[in-house]
Structure 1
Amino acid sequence: MKPLLLILLLFMGCKPTSFYLTPNAVSKRHATLYLLNNDTIPGQFTVALEDFYHLRNGAAYPSYVEITPEGKDTAQRIPLNQILGYRMGTTFYALKTVDISMNGVQRLLFVQRLTPDSSKIHLYELHESGQANATGESLYSYYLSLPGFGLRETVNTRGTRVIPQFEAKMSEIVADCPTLAEKIRSKEKGYFIPFVSFGARKHPDVLLRIINEYNNCH
C-alpha cells in the first residue's frame, strides 16, 4: 500500500488509531493547542501534515488541524493561520515556516522548540519519519529564529545564513555579547560548526551552548 494512501486511511477511518509518530503526524493524542489570540484548547489532537512535505502530484496541503476539546464529543477544525503551536506533556511544538531542502520552498510545519520560552534566540528540531521524504529515512533538521525575525520565520542551520564561515556569521549575530562572539570567532572548542559537518546532528549541541551563554550575557 502506498504511504499516502495508508496515512489517509489511518486519519480518515471510522476509528483512527491513537498515535504519535512525529510532531506532524499525530492522531487523537492529548495535547493543548495554543492560538494566536492567546486562547488555549486542551483535548484530543490530530495533525496530518507529514505526508504532504513535498506536495507530490499536486496534492492539496492541509490548512487545519483537528482537536476534540475536553468534555466535548465533536472534533473542531482549527485553521493553521490561527495557531501558535501545541504542547504535549512538557514539550512545545511551534508552527513555523521551514525550508527543508534549502531550495527556497517554505513549508508550514510543527517543530519541537529546544530552547526556553524566554530565549533571545530559538532553536527548533524537525523530525521526519521518512514516510514523505525522498529517501524514506528518519531525518532530523534544525532551524533558528533570530532576533528581529517574524512570527513564523526560521533559517535552516545547514543554510548559507549559518555555514560555511560559521565563526564569522554567528559571531556577528551575537556581537552584543563580545566575550561569546570572540569564542565563536576564534573557533573555540564547542563553539564552532565546520562546513564538513553539513549533515551532522552536532549542530544542536553547539548552538544550544551558544544560545544559553547568550541568554545569560550581561
Structure 2
Amino acid sequence: MASCRLSRSLCLLLTVLPGLLSQSTSIGPNAYDSLIGLECSQFKGIIEAAGRQLRYQSSTPLTLFVFNDTAYNRLPPYMLNTLYDRESPNNAGAEEFVSSFTMKGVMETSSFSDAQPYSTMSVKSRKLFLNKRNLRIGNVASGRPGPTKYFVNGGIIIRPNIQAGQHVIHIVDRVLPLTLTDNALAYASGYNPDALV
C-alpha cells in the first residue's frame, strides 16, 4: 500500500517537474524593485539618475539587459566616468543609457534570433543584437553538443529569463557600451556627431 502511494507520488513529481524546470525564475514584483536582490544596484542607480523609476515599476511588459555590480566594479576608472553623459540636461544621458538596454515587450532567450537587430526604447534608435550559440564539448571535431550560450551585443547572458512582474531581466557578464547611432560609412568618414554619448 505504501509503495503504491510512493509510486503515484513519484509519477506525479516526474510529470510536474519538467514544467517547473522550464519556467523562469521569479525574483520580485517589477524590474526596479528586483535589481537590488539581483546585485544590480549600479544599474538601478542609473535608472534613478534618469528619473525613470515608474517605468520600471509599471505593469507595461519590458525586457531589460543589465550588468551586475561585479561587472561594474571591474571597469577601469576612466570608463566609470564616461559610461553616460552625466552633465546632460534633464538627465538625458542616463535616460539614453537605460533605454538603450530596454526593449518593449517580453523576450526570453528561447525567442532570440540572429535574423535582425532588435529595437530598444532609445530615442537615438540604438539596437540590440541577440544571439544564441550551441557550444561544443572538447574540440570541434568531436561534435558533442555542449551548453547553449546566449549573447547580447557580444556580452554573455549569465542569468537569463528572470521574471519580475511583467518584466524580464537578463543579466550580462559585462557593462556593455552603447551601440553607435551612425552607420559604418558615416562613422569612418568622421561625420558622426552622435556616435558617442
Give the shorter-chain TM-score range.
under 0.3
Question: More helix per residue: 1 or 2?
Answer: 2
Question: More strand per residue: 1 or 2?
Answer: 1
- Higher RCO (C-alpha under 8 Å, 6+ residues apart): 2
Larger radius of gyration: 2
TM-score (norm 1): 0.25
